[in-house]
Amino acid sequence: MPIVSPGFHGRARETRHKLPPGQYETADFPVLSAGPTPRVDLAEWEFTIRTETGARHSWNWEEFMALPSQTPTVDLHCVTKWSKFDTEWQGVSLDVLLEDVGTSAEYTLVHSYGDYSTNVPLEDLLDGQAWIAYRYDGEELPPEHGGPARLLIPHLYFWKSAKWVRGIQLLHEEERGFWEDIGYHDYGDPWREQRYQGD
């Protein structure tokens, strides 16, 4: 019988592998909001993609709920250094939402109810990398975590996952969002530790 079981080694190795540089794992789900939590009435809620030519594609809540959804299990990495593993969500893939949107834009600015924004390259929203999520851990997404719906883009630092998302603007030239404008990185890859402009 080995002194240290292979199972223990396996789990330890996997945990290290999941943690980007400078991060620590937490079981908590901290709430990080730059302002007050907006209360968004589902009867008023709308999600809109606006193209670089001004064309608009909008869904109200009922239409949005009728779209095919997925249930991704993903790791979250916040720039304040906590990471949370294996979080379970339900949401609509951006592949579905962008399917019928004609665009030659390369950049996007994601907008929230309550005025938050964040910039993300269009290609990072595609190919199964991003969702508009409306359920977390088997429940409706709580308001403090971005309900009714938030962007979920787990391969970038969590500030890119705009809570209370209201729409996506397609752009030919990159425009900075809330945190990027005051010094956070334009892209924000946790594996390359892109926390601030210049990293």
Ligand X SMILES: Nc1nc2c(c(=O)[nH]1)N[C@H]1C(S)=C(S)[C@@H](COP(=O)(O)O)O[C@H]1N2
Q: Which residues bind ligand X (CB under 6 A)?
A: 29-34, 78, 112, 114, 116, 145-146, 158-159, 161-164
User: Which tokens hold the place of 152?
Assistant: 């979920």
Q: Which amino acid is at 100?
A: D
Handedness of CA 120, 134, 49, 46 (dihedral sign): negative
Q: Of 159, 166, 184, 194, which lies in the binding site for Mo ion, with binding defined by CB under 5 A?
A: 159
Give the nearer residue to ligand X in terms of CB position, either 52 or 135. 135
Give the nearer residue to ligand X in terms of CB position, either 20 or 103. 20
Give the nearer residue to ligand X in terms of CB position, either 145 or 185. 145
The residue at minimum Cβ distance from Mo ion is: 78
Q: If contact means CB under 5 to 8 A according to the sort of partner, which of Mo ion, ligand X, none does residue 133 touch?
A: none
User: Which tokens hold the place of 30?
Assistant: 């901290």
Shortest spacing between CB 79 and Mo ion, in angstroms = 5
The residue at minimum Cβ distance from ligand X is: 116
Give the ranges where the chain is alpha helix by DSSP (H).
6-18, 61-65, 94-98, 122-125, 178-181
User: Which tokens hold the place of 91?
Assistant: 């949401």
Give the nearer residue to ligand X in terms of CB position, either 146 or 167. 146
The answer to whether the bond into 148 is cis (omega within 30° of 0) is yes
Cα–Cα distance, 160 to 48 (Å, whole number): 18
What is Dmax (Cα atoms) for the chain?
68
Shortest spacing between CB 21 and Mo ion, in angstroms = 16
Cα–Cα distance, 160 to 155 (Å, whole number): 10
Q: Of 67, 78, 101, 105, which lies in the binding site for Mo ion, with binding defined by CB under 5 A?
A: 78
User: Which tokens hold the place of 80?
Assistant: 């304040």
Give the nearer residue to ligand X in terms of CB position, either 26 or 103. 26
Shortest spacing between CB 44 and Mo ion, in angstroms = 27
Residues lying near Mo ion in the complex (CB under 5 A): 32, 78-79, 158-159
